[in-house]
Amino acid sequence: MSIGRVLAVVLIAVAFVAGLQFGKKAGGSAPVITTAGSGAAYGGSTAGGASDADVAAAKEFMVQGSSKFVAGPPMSDVVVTVEDGESIQEAVKAAEPGTTIHVMPGTYSETVYIDKDGIRLIGIVEGSQRATLHGEGTLNDAILFSGNNIVVEGFLITKYKGNAIMSQAGNNFEIRDNIIVDTGVYGIFPQLGTNGVVEHNVVSGIEDAAIYVGMSDNIHVAYNEVFDSVAGIEIENSRHAIVESNFVYNNTGGVLAFITPGLPIKTTYDVIIRNNWISDNNTPNFGAPGSTVGGIPAGTGIMIMAADDVVIEGNIITNNKTVGIMTVDHNTAAELTNVTVDPEADPNSDRLMILNNTMHNNGYETIPEIRGLMLADLKTGNPDIFAIGPSNESCIINRHRYVHSGIDDYAECAFTNTTTIGNYLMPPVEPRVIEPGERGKIAYLGICAGCHTYEGRMIGPPVKIIQALYMENPHGLAEYIAAPVKKREDYPEMPKQDYLDEETRLAVAEYMLSVSR
């Protein structure tokens, strides 16, 4: 609905609103109260059609405790130590697959790229001293890995322009116990991976997402502290993810589950957001102008856009000035923000499930668009929950506890908790093997798709614009990938990808210039 239509509807609605009494009259029947422990447990999503073997393996593997381990045991007994003043990257280059690399406290100004399997990169913590990767405001990325069964643990990372820790198409990864401050676009960024853990990290000062899970499966994001960023935790075009027990505050938006249009993977589903503390996410949006997250209204606790089978349970959601929980479809988002509709992606959020959450003092300074649509829905008050757009088979319990708009047609959920689902992690899955003919595609999906969708704007220009600039010139694009220069003021500077070998850079250039939607 456009803003003009909203205002037109509001003018009509105001006459009715003036004479309405909202809520129950004194002496009316009391609402039905459903406690979390009194009903059935959620049985899990069937959206992805997981095989019986996968379900059985996940149940057998169910990882308990506050730390989760999916990378498997060390592949060898070899341990290498890097001392202050030495190079971490040189140690990685010399290491055989399966090597554990201990990095002693000190300051290391470099980019570390891991393209081998089984590397365990461990920053040694001694008292208050950590191994510190310092980008000095000039380096683009701190730690990048395309290997499988990788562990990155114990580092302090600061002052990079691109990413702190990025997984590029690797499976079975563990990223834990890192402190990340002011690293540009993304803090922790697993992309195109299966079976990953992101836990016990502290991330702040990120201009896109502090923790951004992109196009990945079977992911567990838990016990992290994320603050002072545009997006706190974002699950994007990913499936089978649990976001739980995180401390999410002072961001523009707290926890997001999205389908970003224009990416090759078109779905986000089977996401559980539970037991998080999501408060005071009122930081003015400082994302890149025109980017997807650049359109998030400051003061958003949880935002769901076009994602399916999302359970929101047991969270404390307080003091978010725009709204506690917001769900929106692609078509509405395209009118209100920077989203471009993708005709190949389902634009609506279906089977949303809102269980018991503690919500207080949300929506006290909401945006005019939400206030107007609430009036059109004959609702007043400060919104805890706001939904716009079609949503099939969605449900809620104890709706009387919240100020809400757009969910009157949500059914009562047939379950009250998710206690039977500890996590979606698997025993170590098969390492990703990249066939020669797939090199360009996997490099695009694992690296480039984090900033470039096919048609809409994300961080960098769309692939269609790149095709227009470099059509029939893959070598020119490959050279630009290795040593980019800023060409347009309306886009941020592109990080150079010179750690990729020449053959891979040419393969990804050829793929990007040939791909269609």
pTM of the model: 0.87
Helix H or strand E segment including 91:
helix 88-94
Write out pLDDT tens, residues 178-194: 999 999 899 999 999 99
What radius of gyration do the chain's Cα atoms show? 23
Are the CB atoms for 428 and 437 separated by under 8 Å? no
62 against 18, higher pLDDT? 62
Write out pLDDT tens, residues 242-288: 999 999 999 999 999 999 888 888 999 999 999 999 999 999 998 87
Are the CB atoms for 172 and 72 separated by under 8 Å? yes
Please determine, for residue 428, whether its predicted confidence score (pLDDT) is greater than 70. yes
Extract the tokens encoding 196: 């990953």
Give me the phi and psi of 370, to 5 degrees please.
-70, -40
Position 351 scores a pLDDT of 97
Sheet holding 277-279, edge to edge: 106-108, 131-134, 155-158, 179-181, 202-204, 225-227, 247-249, 277-279, 316-318, 358-360
Are the CB atoms for 149 and 117 separated by under 8 Å? yes
Write out pLDDT tens, residues 20-77: 333 333 345 677 788 777 678 887 776 655 566 665 665 556 566 677 889 999 999 9
Are the CB atoms for 124 and 102 separated by under 8 Å? yes
Report, as an integer, the average pLDDT of 475-495. Answer: 81
Please determine, for residue 143, whether its predicted confidence score (pLDDT) is greater than 60. yes
Position 105 scores a pLDDT of 98
Per-residue burial over 468-477, b if 16 or more Cβ lie within 10 Å, else e, is: eebeeebeeb
> What percentage of the chain reaches a pLDDT higher than 70?
88
Residue type, 275: N
Are the CB atoms for 205 and 226 separated by under 8 Å? no
Q: Reduce the secondary structure of 394-461 to three states and give it as a string.
A: CEECCHHHCCEECCCCCEECCCCECCCCCCCCCCCCCCCCCCHHHHHHHHHHHCHHHCCCCCCCCCCC
**What span, in angstroms and rounded, lies between the C-alpha atoms of 351 and 269?**
9
The pLDDT mean for the chain works out to 87
